[in-house]
Amino acid sequence: MSAVKRETFGSRSAVILTMAGSAIGLGNIWRFPYMVGEHGGGAFIVLYIIATLLISLPVFVAEATLGRRSRTSAYGAMARLAPGKPFWKSAGILAVIIPTVIASYYSVIGGWSLEYLFQSATAAFVRNDPERVSALFGSFISSPFRPVAMHLLFLAACAYIVGRGVKSGIERFSKITIPILFVLIVAIAVYSISLPGARAGVAYLVRPDFSQLTARSFAFAMGQSFYSLSLGMGAIITYGSYVSREENLLVSSAGTAVSDLLFAILAGFAIMPAVFAAGIEPGAGPGLVFQSIPYVFSVMGEHLPVISTIVSVVFFVAIIVAAMTSLISLLEVGVSYLVERHGVRRPRACMLLFLVCGGVGVLCSLSFGPLAGMKIAGLSLFDLLDWLSSNILLPVLAFLVVIFVGRVLKREDLCEELSYAHPGNARLFGVVYFLIKWVAPIAVALLFVTNFIL
Ligand code: PHE
- The pLDDT tens digits for 167-185 are 999 999 999 999 999 999 9
Low-confidence winner among 45-49, 106-110, 176-180, 280-284 (lowest mean pLDDT): 280-284
Task: Give the pLDDT mean for 255-269.
Answer: 97
Q: Is the CB of 225 under 6 A from ligand 1?
A: no
> Separation of 23 CA from ligand 1 center, angstroms?
5
- SS3 of residue 323 by DSSP: helix
pTM beyond 0.85: the answer is yes
Min mean pLDDT across 51-65, 214-228, 234-248, 421-435 is at 214-228
**pLDDT tens-place string over residues 357-403:** 999 999 999 999 999 888 888 888 988 888 887 778 889 999 999 99
Given a cut of 80, whether residue 130 has pLDDT beyond it is yes
| Substitution site in 52, 108, 329, 397 for ligand 1 pocket (most atoms within 8 Å of beta carbon) | 329
229 closest CA partner among 391, 23, 397: 23
Share of the chain above pLDDT 90, in %: 76
212 secondary structure, DSSP code: G
pLDDT confidence of residue 5? 65
List, in order, residues 6 or more apart from 271 with CB less than 8 Å away.
29, 33, 192, 288, 289, 293
Q: Percent of the chain beyond pLDDT 70?
A: 99
Q: Which of 27-41, 303-317, 405-419 has the lowest mean pLDDT?
A: 27-41
Q: Which CATH number fits domain 12-453: 1.20.1740, 1.10.1220, 1.10.260, 1.10.10?
A: 1.20.1740
* Predicted local distance difference test score (pLDDT) of residue 454: 66
Cβ of 230 less than 6 Å from ligand 1: yes
Question: Is residue 1 over pLDDT 50?
Answer: no
Q: Binning pLDDT at 50, 70 and 90, where does residue 265 land?
A: very high
Domain ranges of the chain: 12-453
Higher pLDDT, residue 453 or 244: 244
pLDDT of residue 342: 96
Average pLDDT for 277-304:
85
For the cut 60, the answer to whether the pLDDT of residue 4 exceeds it is no
- The reported pLDDT for the residue numbered 453 is 74
Per residue in 86-103, pLDDT (tens digit) is 999 999 998 999 999 999
Q: How far is the CA of 403 from the centre of ligand 1 (A)?
A: 22
442 has pLDDT over 60? yes
Residues in the chain: 454
Phi, psi dihedrals of residue 83, rounded to the nearest 5°? -65, 145
The conformational region for residue 165 under phi > 0 = left, psi -120 to 50 = alpha, else beta, is left
Cβ of 290 closer than 6 Å to ligand 1, yes or no, is: no
User: What is the atom index within ligand 1 of the atom nearest the CA of 260?
Assistant: 4
- List pLDDT tens digits, range 324-350: 999 999 999 999 999 999 999 999 999
The whole-number average pLDDT for the span 100-114 is 95
Instruction: Please give the pLDDT value at position 336.
Output: 97
pLDDT of residue 2: 44
Residue nearest to atom 11 of ligand 1 (CA): 230
Q: Which of 133-137, 397-401, 448-452 has the highest mean pLDDT?
A: 397-401
Residue 229 alpha carbon to ligand 1 centre in Å: 6
Tell me, using a 6 A CB cutoff, whether residue 25 lines ligand 1: yes
Asked whether the predicted pLDDT for residue 71 surpasses 80, the reply is yes
C-beta of 22 in contact with ligand 1 (< 6 A): yes
**Alpha helices for 212-292 (secondary structure H):** 215-228, 235-240, 249-277
Q: What is the DSSP letter of 380?
A: -
CA–CA separation, 56 and 447 (whole Å): 12
Contact 322, 29 (CB under 8 A): yes
| pLDDT reading at 3 higher than 70 | no
Q: Which residues contact 428 (CB under 8 A, 6 or more apart)?
A: 250
Distance CA 269, CA 267 (A): 5
